[in-house]
């Protein structure tokens, strides 16, 4: 038997993260990738209610905005949205300890490149070089190191693709 407080979902604000869980009609299973995200109402009744009272920008904007702005509040953090019979959202409020250790092992330019990519996954090598104040060759060498360390990958073509920071 499911406890009554859990039957409709819950919202917990902790010191290190905010966790929200709610029953829904899943459109898929597993972690939601912001690059491949297609909006679909997790709970159609609630979505319709908020749409009627004018409190929704557009379907899916909350997930996109959370990925977009979470790095501003907690640099280096990444929210997690997990879809299944229960939709789970985990928003970090602090950096995880292992994230700090991994970043300390990176060079200054590698860290700056990751920060720029976290802010804009479609940034070009030229813009990265311009923002950091180094040559494009130096940016390419640092990206090569990040790829070798399995921290960064390129999705798609050189022109139409985007960068992905690997968890």
Domain boundary among 77, 92, 107: 92
- Do both 115 and 63 map to the same domain? no
Mark which of 92, 118, 144 sits at the end of a domain. Answer: 92
State whether 110 and 161 are in the same domain.
yes
Cα separation, 115 vs 137, in Å, equals 19
CATH of the domain at 151: 1.10.10.10
Together in a domain, 83 and 132: no
Please name the residues in contact with 44: beta carbons below 8 A apart, sequence gap of 6 or more: 25
Residue 117's domain spans which residues? 98-165
pLDDT digits (tens, 9 = 90+) for 91-133: 988 765 444 445 557 888 998 898 888 888 888 899 999 989 9
pLDDT at 151: 87
| Torsion sign over Cα 28, 34, 35, 39 | positive
Predicted pLDDT at 73: 80
Cα–Cα dist 104/96, whole Å: 13
Overall number of domains in the chain: 2
CA distance 126 to 145: 18
Strand partners of residue 83:
30
Using a pLDDT cut of 70, give the percent of the chain over it.
Answer: 83
Residue 28 to residue 23: CA distance in whole angstroms: 14
Distance of alpha carbon 133 from alpha carbon 136, whole angstroms? 9
Last residue of a domain, one of 42, 60, 92: 92
User: 3-state class of 160 per DSSP?
Assistant: coil
């Amino acid at each position: 038997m499911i406890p009554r407080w859990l039957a409709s979902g819950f919202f917990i604000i902790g010191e290190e993260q905010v966790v929200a869980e709610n029953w829904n009609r899943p459109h898929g299973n597993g972690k939601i990738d912001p690059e491949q995200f297609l909006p679909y109402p997790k709970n159609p009744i609630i979505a319709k209610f908020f749409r009627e009272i004018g409190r929704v920008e557009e379907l899916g904007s909350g997930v996109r905005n959370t990925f977009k702005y979470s790095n501003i509040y907690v640099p280096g953090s990444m929210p997690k949205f997990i879809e299944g019979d229960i939709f789970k959202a985990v928003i970090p409020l602090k950096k995880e300890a292992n994230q700090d250790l991994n970043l300390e092992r990176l060079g200054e330019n590698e860290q700056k490149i990751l920060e720029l990519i976290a802010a804009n996954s479609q940034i070009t090598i030229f813009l990265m070089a311009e923002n950091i104040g180094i040559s494009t060759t130096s940016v390419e060498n640092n990206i090569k190191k990040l790829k070798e360390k399995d921290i960064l990958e390129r999705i798609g073509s050189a022109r139409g693709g985007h960068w992905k920071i690997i968890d």
